[in-house]
Structure 1
Amino acid sequence: MPTLPREQPEPSPAEPHKARQIAESFGADAQRYDQARPGYPDTLVRRILAGSPGPDVLDVGCGTGIAARQFQAVGCTVLGIEPDARMADFARARGLQVEVATFEAWQPVGRTFDAVIAAQSWHWVDPVAGAVKAAHVLRPEGRLAIFGHVYEPPTEVAEPFAAAYRRAAPDSPFNGQPARRPLDLYQAAYTKFADKIRETEQFNAPEQWRFDWKQSYTRDQWLDLLPTTGGLTQLRPDQLARILDAVGSAIDSLGGRFTMSYTTLAATAVRVGTS
């Protein structure tokens, strides 16, 4: 779930990229993250490549390489940038070239790319510096594509999760959020990404794309994914166990599985065609 997490001292909700402790917490169990997190619609991958001048891709915040491997599978050469060395090591072991750095601090050393992608990671990047740097490393008419999933389970699963989370982690900054957040909130975040791209004056008019799809989860599959989400990666084992027990019981009451409605959102733009 793309959220806007916080840490202490608490950054502004408009500056989630400053929450570095959470941003770099996902590597605690890189294998689980890679196995449980969903990939991205093939139609999205094809559309990005169709609007790019070539196959050289820079993946910002590549994590374990979930998106990168999809681009490699269709013939792209991909370089990953990842601030968490644990995630980077996992991705390297599966054939991805990765350099460990935040995107803001990474040194391109003259390298340029046909596409810069950020899969479920751009909210960890300074939106102004990131857009400017993307323009700097893109070739003329290269494409910047920022994308991620909106996935909220049905109310019968979301409500027990929220209640258990409040009980298990009453001091967490994630408390106070509604059990299910409307799609409009996420669409507004991608509109802000597009606005920051536009403000650089180095891209053609940004576009926003949307892809709707569904995926079925068993109880075990969903309980495997939940610990990889931002609100749970820093909990104590006993806190996590209480939350997973409550969610597991809720899924059992639904017959042991449920269907998730996913929306994958993208903000994308083409660099102006000058050298």
Structure 2
Amino acid sequence: MPTLPRKQPEPAQPHQARQTAESFGADAHRYDQARPGYPDDLVARIVAGSPGPDVLDVGCGTGIAARQFQSAGCAVLGIEPDARMADLAQARGLKVEVATFEAWEPAGRMFDALIAAQSWHWVDPVVGAVKAARALRPNGRLAIFGHVFEPPAEVAEPFAAAFRRVAPDSPFGNQPAGGPLASYQAGYAQIADKIRETGRFNDPEQWRLDWEQSYTRDQWLNLLPTTGGLTRLRSDQLTEILAAVGDAIDALGGRFTMHYTTLATTAVRAAAP
């Protein structure tokens, strides 16, 4: 009887991990319902710092960020590689083209802002910044942003312990229970370096917004399965993790306050000479 090969881990570079990158559409409706939006101040700042209303949303998902920019008066085109996510975004009024950003063809179109909300790590970091410059008008704004989740230790530690127990081979299982902000800030600094290397943008800026949101037990357990570490787990693994986290939230009285930090790297396309 032949021996089956062991499952190969996905590549270390996030943009190469296509199975995880395109796993969120397995429950697109839950993703759209449970995932938080972005601070209104961030959206307003991007819009105010762009030369016009035409926005390209890279990795738009179900259109969570795009709808906020539409509400701010922008005309948004989404790019999304997962047709399941794109279908839901289109059903909610967003124009979407199904493609990875690397393969997408602008066909002569140019935009006043290019945003990537919680999605730029799925884009080739070298190709992405150069292609963004091609898609932006002179003085157009590139804005790459996302959330850092900081649940209290009473929630984060049982989650991390349960994850290590049920999925010890997962690369997500080795992550610390808390304190991810420094590593995310380093990641956004690396994004800024790639933007500088193109020579096509003014010097990037780093923005930070801190805010809080309260979650009930049910609300948090609805959101957790939409996060990258959990989207590809077996149902029994997911059930065990959610049970451990649910017990932890019950011990806090059935709800907790999440501390969010939204980080952004943003740069203005250099004016044509």
The one of 255, 260, 263 aligned to 1:262: 260
CA distance, structure 2, for counterparts of residue 230 and residue 198 of structure 1:
28
Alignment of 1:76-225 (within 5 A): 76-225=74-223
CA distance, structure 2, for counterparts of residue 8 and residue 18 of structure 1:
13
Letter in 2 for 1:25: S
Q: 2:148·2:180 contact (CA, 8 Å) conserved in 1? A: no
The one of 39, 45, 50 aligned to 1:52: 50
CA distance, structure 2, for counterparts of residue 90 and residue 123 of structure 1:
22
CA distance, structure 1, for counterparts of residue 119 and residue 8 of structure 2:
21
CA distance, structure 1, for counterparts of residue 45 and residue 148 of structure 2:
19
Deviations 1:185-218 (Å, cap 9, x if unpaired)? 1100000001100100000010000000000000
Instruction: Give the equivalent residue in structure 1 for 2:244.
Output: 246
Instruction: Give the equivalent residue in structure 1 for 2:8.
Output: 8
CA distance, structure 2, for counterparts of residue 58 and residue 176 of structure 1:
35
| Consecutive unaligned residues in structure 2, runs of 5 or more | 1-6
Deviations 1:197-247 (Å, cap 9, x if unpaired)? 010000001000000000000000000000000010001111100100010
Q: How many residues align?
A: 267
Q: What's the RMSD between the two structures over aligned residues?
A: 1.1
Runs of 4+ in 1 over 4 A off after TM superposition: none
Deviations 1:61-112 (Å, cap 9, x if unpaired)? 0000000000000110000000000000000000000000000000110000
After TM superposition, give the deviation of residue 170 of structure 1 in Å. 2.1
CA distance, structure 1, for counterparts of residue 44 and residue 271 of structure 2:
21
Letter in 2 for 1:23: A
Letter in 2 for 1:99: E
After TM superposition, give the deviation of residue 8 of structure 1 in Å. 3.5
After TM superposition, give the deviation of residue 176 of structure 1 in Å. 1.4
Instruction: Give the equivalent residue in structure 2 for 1:20.
Output: 18
Instruction: Give the equivalent residue in structure 1 for 2:4.
Output: none
Letter in 1 for 2:8: Q
After TM superposition, give the deviation of residue 168 of structure 1 in Å. 1.5
**What is the percentage of aligned positions where both structures have the same residue?**
79
Instruction: Give the equivalent residue in structure 2 for 1:4.
Output: none
After TM superposition, give the deviation of residue 174 of structure 1 in Å. 1.3
After TM superposition, give the deviation of residue 171 of structure 1 in Å. 2.1
Letter in 1 for 2:26: A
| Consecutive unaligned residues in structure 1, runs of 5 or more | 1-6
The one of 31, 34, 37 aligned to 2:35: 37
After TM superposition, give the deviation of residue 169 of structure 1 in Å. 1.5
Greater displacement, 153-162 / 170-179: 170-179
After TM superposition, give the deviation of residue 9 of structure 1 in Å. 4.5
Letter in 2 for 1:74: A
CA distance, structure 2, for counterparts of residue 9 and residue 174 of structure 1:
11
Instruction: Give the equivalent residue in structure 2 for 1:3.
Output: none
CA distance, structure 2, for counterparts of residue 45 and residue 232 of structure 1:
28
CA distance, structure 1, for counterparts of residue 172 and residue 149 of structure 2:
16
TM-score by length of 2: 0.96
Letter in 2 for 1:182: P
CA distance, structure 2, for counterparts of residue 9 and residue 33 of structure 1:
25
CA distance, structure 1, for counterparts of residue 146 and residue 63 of structure 2:
14
